[in-house]
Structure 1
Amino acid sequence: MNRSVFKAAVFISVPLLLVGCGGTKSVSNPVPPPVTVREVAIIAVPRAISVSGVLEAGIEVELGFEVGGRIKEMPLHEGQAVRQGQVLATLDATDLKHALAIAEAKLGEIEAEHGRLSRLYAKGSLTRHDFGRIESALAEARANAEILRDQVAHTVLRSTLDGIVSHRRVEKGTVVAPGLPVVAIIAVDHIKAAVAVPESDISAVALGQEAEVEIPALGGQLFSGRVEGIQPVAAVLSRTFKVTIGLDNPEGVLRPGTVAMARIQVDGEARSATVPGQAILTTPEGRPFVYRMQGDGTSVSRRPVTVGGLQGVEVVVTEGLEAGDIVVIGGQHRLSDGSVVSVVTETP
């Protein structure tokens, strides 16, 4: 074969070979994940004010002895639970018990003398004046003995309520005066959430209104309560009013000083978006979001939202969604911001 002809044949064969090889390739496009969507519902919900604060003790009492003396025993420590009537501390009652023994012995002597003179008086052998003197002495002896009995009894300090020891004001061996605070007890069966309400909202708050209190330290657990107090004067710097919400705490899980988030139900209604609960996802930091359909109808965007509670089986979204928005309610766990999707079902 002519050398030039051979070269031409090679050059022609190579492109044909490449074309033939290219024809065997197949390009596969990824299939968009199927999702279920629903349009956001807009409903009228009771108006609520969202505020924050801390838990406070419902009742705190400072207890002290009614008599003075040196503290002999003080067995309880801060944080310990106590029951009503439980002993909190005792005084050294040695001197008082000695005085009581003397007074009771004297009382016994006077009672015996009173009995003897009573028989004489009944027979007319004793004047009314003389009998009156022994009766006065008997009354005085009885009073003295009763006073000392009370003083001895008051050397034992007992709790006046069920609660927790919040403070020990003194220690064992301290000499205390009557009425000096020795122990502080807080009741824990009823707790108050003290929240700060802005001056722009305080006019809508009233005693008895229902409130929902969330405790972040308890994993967002919710507790129901009512407004029990409204401070009449605003704080100078923050221009907020202290409002207290009463919460029953029979299990004792609520502790004073814990951060609280509250929603106070006030008069009136507000229009809010609602979505099914499964539409709400959370970031690793715990921030809620949804996947909202983009305007092209084929892709989604991740939308941060603010959740405001439940309305029946629906979740109220106070921020982040508007009327007409369409959110993914099924299949969203496989998505990311900007994912292309295939809508297989649209729930009405």
Structure 2
Amino acid sequence: MAVLLNCGCGHKVQPKSTPDTISVSSIQLGGVIPATTDRLQYDGTIQADKTINLSFQVSGTITSIPVQTGDYVLKGQKVAEIDETVYRNQYNAQQAQAKLAEENYNRTLEVFKKGSIAEIKMLQARADFDQATSAAKASYQNIVHTKLFAPVNGYIGDKKIEAGATASPGTPVVQLLDIRSVQVLVAIPESEINRYKVGNTAAVTVDALGGEPLLGKVSEIGVLAQQNSASYNVKVHLINPVKALKPGMLCKITFTPDNHIASTDSASHQEIIVPAQAVQVDEKGNNFVFVADEAGKKAFRRQVQTGALYSSGIAIKSGLVGSERLITSGYQKLNDSTPIILNK
């Protein structure tokens, strides 16, 4: 009996382990809201309407580039020049050949008129004269091409080479930016790209210019996704009369609901909007959120299907009914059925 009693006294009952209670913050969803009452906003970058890389058509040593990055140049203004010595000598030689051919033709023509030579001789002399004249004109074009002129008004965006270097045909020398109007480049997710079409209006705000909204229109919608991305480029055209908008400036683009292409599905006009940070993605690429039970004691994981991204949050197409208490912080430590305490 004593042995049994001692054994009984030495046995310790292990307490049952329970999950830790996690403190979380939450919001009460208020049901579905009309998606058309919100505005879609994206980040964008301003680009020049035209970017022209100017290059020589002939090769040679650059003697001068009389412009600097940031200079404003006018149409027809010289922006670069290469040494024309070789091409000038070639032209002079061709010009001398042309004069000799002309003199030979005139003499042959006089003899032909007297009937002393056959017509074929006169025609051959004339052909030689025409050929030499054409060669001289072509040679002169090489001299013309030793000077590089701005084809339009614009700013020098970059100097690709300096004086003293050797220029090759087609190799950019300077970059000219035409910013009388600009394009705003916007990356639109694949789930939203079909909402827009060319001609839609958009409000563009640039913090660097005080954030005053500028009205623009969609000028181009990409049909090829960006590399390693499920986004498509959309361009918004803006008039830039005072040239205050500069390439590279960051901006916000807001598309109003009137821009959206109407959907035949009436359900698409009612969506549940939740904070974007509350939506997580698992290792399989599934989106999910955590919601609290009615008593606020446990968290439950809900798989959801997301929709459009708005300035106030992200739309939920399925997985929620709109009356749940959504957990917005502390969810990183949660699993399905984890005990929770709601922060007041």
Question: Structure 2 length as normaliser, TM-score?
Answer: 0.62
Q: CA deviation at 1:253?
A: 1.0
Aligned to 1:143: 134
Aligned to 2:148: 157
Aligned to 1:122: 113
Change (3 A) 1:126 1:245: same
Q: Which of 41, 65, 76 is the equivalent residue of 2:56?
A: 65
Provide the secondary structure at the position in 1 that maps to 2:130: helix
Question: Structure 1 length as normaliser, TM-score?
Answer: 0.61
Q: Which of 34, 57, 68 is the equivalent residue of 1:77?
A: 68
Change (3 A) 1:238 1:149: closer
Change (3 A) 1:237 1:154: closer
Q: Which amino acid aligns with 1:111?
A: E
Structure index of larger Rg: 1
Q: Which of 248, 252, 262 is the equivalent residue of 1:261?
A: 252
Aligned to 1:225: 216
1:226-245 correspondence runs (5 A): 226-235=217-226, 239-245=230-236
Deviations 1:310-339 (A, max 9, x none): xxxxxxxx86xxxxxxxxxxxxxxxxxxxx
Deviations 1:273-299 (A, max 9, x none): xxxxxxxxxxxxxxxxxxxxxxxxxxx
Change (3 A) 1:116 1:235: closer
Q: CA deviation at 1:245?
A: 0.4
Q: Which amino acid aligns with 1:80?
A: D
Aligned residues: 233
Change (3 A) 1:238 1:148: closer
Segments of structure 2 that go 5 or more residues without pairing to the other structure are: 1-33, 264-268, 271-310, 313-344
Q: Is the 8 A contact 1:49 1:201 kept in 2?
A: no
Q: CA deviation at 1:139?
A: 1.5
CA distance in 1, matches of 2:232, 2:125: 67
CA distance in 1, matches of 2:57, 2:141: 10
Provide the secondary structure at the position in 2 that maps to 1:244: strand
Aligned to 2:100: 109
Deviations 1:94-151 (A, max 9, x none): 1211221222122222212222222222332221121122112102211210111100
Q: CA deviation at 1:45?
A: 7.3
Aligned to 1:204: 195
CA distance in 2, matches of 1:236, 1:130: 67
CA distance in 1, matches of 2:106, 2:163: 46
1:1-348 correspondence runs (5 A): 48-235=39-226, 239-265=230-256, 266-267=259-260
CA distance in 2, matches of 1:163, 1:114: 50
Q: Which amino acid aligns with 1:155?
A: T
What percent of counterpart residues are identical?
26
Q: Is the 8 A contact 1:82 1:165 kept in 2?
A: yes
Deviations 1:12-41 (A, max 9, x none): xxxxxxxxxxxxxxxxxxxxxxxxxxxxxx
Q: CA deviation at 1:196?
A: 2.2
CA distance in 1, matches of 2:246, 2:254: 19
CA distance in 2, matches of 1:236, 1:68: 36
Deviations 1:175-228 (A, max 9, x none): 122221111111111211111223332221111111111111100122211111
CA distance in 2, matches of 1:144, 1:236: 49
CA distance in 2, matches of 1:148, 1:219: 55
Change (3 A) 1:138 1:249: same
Provide the secondary structure at the position in 2 that maps to 1:62: strand
Q: CA deviation at 1:235?
A: 4.3
Provide the secondary structure at the position in 1 that maps to 2:172: coil
CA distance in 1, matches of 2:38, 2:225: 23
Change (3 A) 1:210 1:46: farther
